[in-house]
Structure 1
Amino acid sequence: MENFKLGVRASWITVGINFALGTFKLFAGIVGHSYAMIADSLHTLSDVFTTFLVLMVLSISAREANDEEPVYKKYLAALEKLLGIILILMGSYLAYTCSRLLIFGGMSKPSIIALIAAFISIAIKEIMYWYTINISRKIKSISMEKDAWHHREDALSSIGTFIAILVSILGLVSLDVIAGVAVSIVVIKVGRNLYNKGNEKYEAKIDEDEIILNLEIIVKETPGVQGIKSIRSRIFNERMYVDLEIFVDPDISVREGHDIAKALQYRIESEFKSIKHTMVHIVPNNK
């Protein structure tokens, strides 16, 4: 549970930073007359949407099963489709605007504020990479590790934006608009993926019973585990979320129990690709 809370807290920090960064980049792009920066800001804000949706999924998965769960899933699917449509429309409009400028002219040279915003974006995204990768290693979360590498990819994308704006300021104005088209296409792709995800049927396409049986074997084989108290699971968006209670020696230290839980969580999420997240609870074996 401690690892779960740490991961959620890190995700909320990511949402806050991305929202602030995306808003600043949008302002800098508009004021600085840089279409590349405007498109890059939409890309950053799309990360806010996707991370927020992940947090909603984790919140639903942490609830006790009840009759309202399908309703939550239905609302989440509708929200994913809505956000996907918004990103597709915004990306398409920006790509259309940039294309018209390339064809008919009227481009203006970006100002220094757009270049500064691109540099700040590179620095912040790199810091976010190191922050997230350290958290992922601490809680042994594969999903957070993937999120960390996504920050690194964003930093590299911002380097491309920085170069395009710099070259435009130096004289080749069209490069900023070309970069705006390229990043707009990325935003459209993110929106399309969100829409398709929301359009999927939230029905199980995996054999939950078979996975639970294999899961029990792995848990019992794990050093330090003396038994299983309970295994609860649910399937959401074709991925499993597992809540596991295991018995351990009551005389071991808290740190030893914590290490057993971390090792088990990492092994489960590494070996079962259909399991999105695992929460491992330690229970003293007083029998």
Structure 2
Amino acid sequence: MTPGIKVIVVGAIANLLLSIFKFIGGILGNSVALVADAIHSLSDLMTDVIVLFTHRIGQMPQDEDHPYGHGRAETIGATVIGLFIIATGIGVIYETWQALGESSGKTPGWLAVIAATLSIIINEGLFHYTRRVGEATQSPSLLANAWHHRSDAISSIAALIGIIGAGQGFPFMDPLAGAVVGVMIVKVGIDITREGVRDLMDTALSEEHIKKIHSILTEIPEVIHFHDLRSRVIGGEFLIDVHIIVDPEMTVTEGHRVAEIARRSLIKAF
């Protein structure tokens, strides 16, 4: 089992247990916010399935039909995850809005507090674990899933604040916290979707990265000038094309050597 597959499986198991625990804690503990948070954890479980599928395809080697590899599958997966998160957030906002008008008057209990606290700890741990593996494997879908775990941790914090507030005599704070959870979920989904769409549209690297490329090429003495710089991201990897101009008196072998120096310098930097 590869590190990428392992982190997905670990996350899926954790999300399944968390969603069950938070549903029970929310219902028995009288917390609308925690039930909303449980829905978020359930959405994490569903996106884990998407990540598993797209990550396995994205890690497949190049072939005759896919000379650039299968990295686009991971970008598509990340975009789908983002859209799924947005839909989940909207659903949570709707449910908590309904709860605001149908308040039962019951105060959330300590079971809800314990469930929310445990969720914060576990999801923050999953975020760091998944992000570390995602960065090591340059996997957009794993990184998107990592931020999904972080959004769940943040939403659990909001739920915990609402639960405590309701326990202190402000019952409206629990469903209100649920609505805040929904907004946070939507925000994370929009960010992930935007990044995925940028990569699918072959958007160039950031201005900071372009400046870094210019700096690297200008530091090579044999490179007189360069132009037609093009860049894009596929499956977490940077693809850079650039025409470099060298001394016309150079031999083909010498010119190739300079091009290889430029290539290796860019690979080392990115």
Matched, 1:41 2:38: yes
CA 85–9 in structure 1, closer or farther in 2 if over 3 Å, else same: closer
Structure with max Cα Rg: 2
Partner of 1:189: 187
Instruction: Identify the residue that residue 27 of structure 2 maps to in structure 1.
Output: 30
Amino acid at match of 1:177: P
- Distance in 2, Cα, partners of 1:202 & 1:185: 26
In the alignment, what sits opposite 2:15?
Answer: 18
Query: Which residue of structure 2 aligns with residue 59 of structure 1?
Result: 56
Taking only the aligned residue pairs, the percentage that are identical comes to 29
Unaligned segments of structure 1, at least 5 residues: 219-233, 243-266, 273-287
Query: CA offset at residue 57 of structure 1?
Result: 3.8
CA distance in 2, matches of 1:80, 1:142: 13
Q: Is the 8 A contact 2:25 2:111 kept in 1?
A: yes
The C-alpha deviation readout for 1:229-262, integer Å capped at 9, x for no partner, is xxxxx9646x4279xxxxxxxxxxxxxxxxxxxx
Distance 2:23 2:55 in 1: 29
Paired AA for residue 116 in structure 2: A
2:121 counterpart residue number: 123
Once the 2 structures are TM-superposed, how far is the Cα of residue 184 of structure 1 from its aligned partner?
Answer: 1.1
Equivalent residue, structure 2, for 1:91: 89
1:86 & 1:127 partners in 2: Cα distance? 22
C-alpha deviation, 1:37, in angstroms: 0.8
| Farther-moved stretch of structure 1 (183-192 vs 124-133) | 124-133
Residue 261 of structure 2 is matched in structure 1 by: none
Matched residue type, 1:172: F
1:236-275 to structure 2, matched below 5 A, reads 236=234, 239-240=236-237, 271-272=269-270
Q: CA deviation at 1:71?
A: 10
| 1:151-170 to 2 correspondences below 5 Å | 154-155=152-153, 157-170=155-168
TM-score (norm 2): 0.57
Q: Which amino acid aligns with 2:165?
A: V
The answer to whether the 8 A contact 1:88-1:189 is kept is yes
CA distance in 1, matches of 2:79, 2:89: 16
Q: Distance in 2 between matches of 1:74 and 1:135?
A: 18
CA contact (8 A) 2:78 2:193 kept: no
Q: Offset of 1:172 from its aligned partner?
A: 1.6
Q: Does 1:9 align with 2:11?
A: no
Which amino acid is 1:123 matched to? I
Would the alpha carbon gap of residues 90 and 140 (structure 1) be closer, same or farther in structure 2, given more than 3 Å must change?
closer
* Structure 1 pair 13–206 and aligned structure 2 pair: CA distance change class (3 A): same
Shift of 1:162: 1.9
TM-score scaled to structure 1, two decimals?
0.54
Letter in 1 for 2:183: I
Q: Which runs of 5+ in 2 are unaligned?
A: 218-231, 240-265
Does the Cα contact within 8 Å between 1:167 and 1:175 map onto a contact in 2?
A: yes
| Number of residues of Structure 1 aligned to a counterpart in Structure 2 | 219
**Quick one: which amino acid aligns to residue 175 of structure 1?**
M
Change in 2 beyond 3 A, CA 1:147/1:108: same
The answer to whether the Cα contact below 8 Å between 2:58 and 2:71 also exists between their aligned partners in 1 is no
Amino acid at match of 1:171: G
Matched ranges for 1:67-82 at <5 A: 67=65, 77=76, 81=80
Deviations 1:22-76 (A, max 9, x none): 3322332234331211222233344445555444443223224354899996898
Partner SS state of residue 200, structure 2: coil
Match of 1:110 in 2: 108
CA displacement at 1:148 relative to structure 2 = 6.6
CA contact (8 A) 2:82 2:188 kept: yes
Contact 2:79 2:193 in 1 (8 A): yes
Go from structure 1 to structure 2 and tell me whether the alpha carbon gap of 1:26 and 1:86 turns closer, same or farther (over 3 Å shift). farther
Change in 2 beyond 3 A, CA 1:192/1:14: same
Measure the CA separation in 1 of the matches of 2:109 and 2:151.
25
Query: Does the 8 A contact of 1:39 with 1:91 survive in 2?
Result: no
